[in-house]
Structure 1
Amino acid sequence: MSGREGLFVTFEGGEGAGKSTQAQRLRESLEAEGRRVVQLREPGGTALGEELRKLLLNSPSLAVKTELLLFLAARSELVQKVIKPALAGGIYVICDRFMDSTTAYQGYGRRISRELIATLNDAVVDGCRPDLTVLLDLDPDVGLSRAEHGAGGDAIEGHWQQGLTFDSQAGAPGRRVGGRDKAFHRRVREGYLQMAKAEPSRWLVLDATLPADEIAAKVRARVAELRKAP
């Protein structure tokens, strides 16, 4: 737990994987045990973060590096204003997406330099890395079908449906991060799996097609293990 009093858990995955549902279930489970918990989402969680979220959701023609820097700005504010103080105060932090989303979507998906992203992410998270990252792994065809029927509101994945052609370095023509370019989403999935393989102690990879109750139980079990760790 990196010397912190609280525990930091993030949920990652592609469209339709059920991250928000599982984040909420973990929060409810921890609160039922009497734990203090804050549940967050990226981008968002602060006044600036929510404004940047609106900007990202409603700006279909942003340059890819502009988009990257806006996500990072929202993350920096969230880390400094919410996550670090919460963890220092013994509060459990659950976040729907965090630094690994940037590597997966902007690095593997958009093909921005992953070395650049790693450098920027390191500066922004300022040592505040998750104790556990839950990857809800799902075939993009299944996930996109789920999202087609379930995404809406201001969901960062499903809301970006405005047409946008990626530039020559970002892959085949498609749409924003929540769009329907399946090759893009396959790259995102592969990126997630590669990150999990490279750092298995931090990641818990679960089949997102499992029943929600079974997924929630596996997440709770891993969190319980972390609480017992010295």
Structure 2
Amino acid sequence: MPLVPPPSPEGHGYAGTFIAFEGGDGAGKSTQLRLLADCLVDAGHDVVPTREPGGTPVGAAIREVLLHGEHVDPRAEALLFAADRAHHVATVVRPALERGAVVLCDRYVDSSVAYQGVARDLDASDIRSLSMWATGTLWPDLTVLLDVDPARGHSRRDGEADRMEAEDEVFHEHVRQAFLDLAAAHPGRYMTVDAAGAAESVHKIVRARTVDLLGLHEGGGP
């Protein structure tokens, strides 16, 4: 897979901090984002938890098409994710970073690279470039990769599977390997965590890295 080095995340020029959570389906991204958000709010931070797709009203409509609609051509799928991301960054993420908030996002650019660029067999560099154009080259300060075997992730899911979750095991294995490859290529931006354990144990690992990133004391205060 072509891996194009991203711009330095330290270069976004905003007062806030941007943390993305990535991983396969059932890795626990939503749970870990919520636990970290609660921790940071308790520490007195302005925290904006959000997700892609669906972090805005426009995004919610796109999410319905992408995850619960009929078949979507892979190229159309990639463009819809990019459209959601462009609007999300312009109306939620960037304004929050400008005012100094901590933005915690469930999925970002690397999900498109892994799912559409690799697992859908579109060109990974093209998909990355599309998202970079959509976001104005905004990269997270930290990307937390919650790594879990796809079979274990599948066993954690509740309810009916969406379009992505319903893909076969080979698809999800490709997604997992794509994330691991991205993390190996960009170790300064990534933190890879074994997400097979208990949620609280995983949270402690994520929190420790966030404490370092934000300059917090372990007691929780600034």
The two structures have a TM-score, normalised by structure 1, of 0.86
- C-alpha offsets along residues 142-176 of structure 1, whole Å, 9 cap, x if unaligned? 111222xx255xxxxx322xxxxxxxxxxxxxxxx
- Tell me what 2:169 maps to: 182
User: Are 1:24 and 2:37 counterparts?
Assistant: no
Rounded Cα–Cα distance in structure 2 between residues aligned with 1:151 and 1:29: 28
For CA contacts below 8 A with separation 6 or more, give which structure has more relative contact order: 2
> Which residues in structure 2 correspond to 1:29-108 (within 5 Å)?
29-108=39-118
> Which residues in structure 2 correspond to 1:123-134 (within 5 Å)?
123-134=133-144
Alpha carbon RMSD of aligned pairs, Å? 1.4
Which consecutive unaligned segments of at least 5 residues does structure 1 have? 153-157, 161-176
User: Are 1:112 and 2:122 counterparts?
Assistant: yes
User: Are 1:15 and 2:18 counterparts?
Assistant: no
Rounded Cα–Cα distance in structure 2 between residues aligned with 1:67 and 1:40: 20
Rounded Cα–Cα distance in structure 2 between residues aligned with 1:110 and 1:127: 23
Rounded Cα–Cα distance in structure 1 between residues aligned with 2:137 and 2:123: 21
- Tell me what 2:187 maps to: 200
8 Å contact 2:109–2:128 — kept in the other structure?
Answer: no
Which consecutive unaligned segments of at least 5 residues does structure 2 have? 1-9, 217-222
Which residue identity does 1:18 align to in structure 2?
G
Which residue identity does 2:162 align to in structure 1?
H
8 Å contact 1:103–1:114 — kept in the other structure?
Answer: yes
8 Å contact 2:21–2:144 — kept in the other structure?
Answer: yes
Rounded Cα–Cα distance in structure 2 between residues aligned with 1:52 and 1:46: 10
Aligned residues: 206
SS of equivalent to 2:55: coil
8 Å contact 2:112–2:128 — kept in the other structure?
Answer: no
8 Å contact 1:35–1:92 — kept in the other structure?
Answer: yes
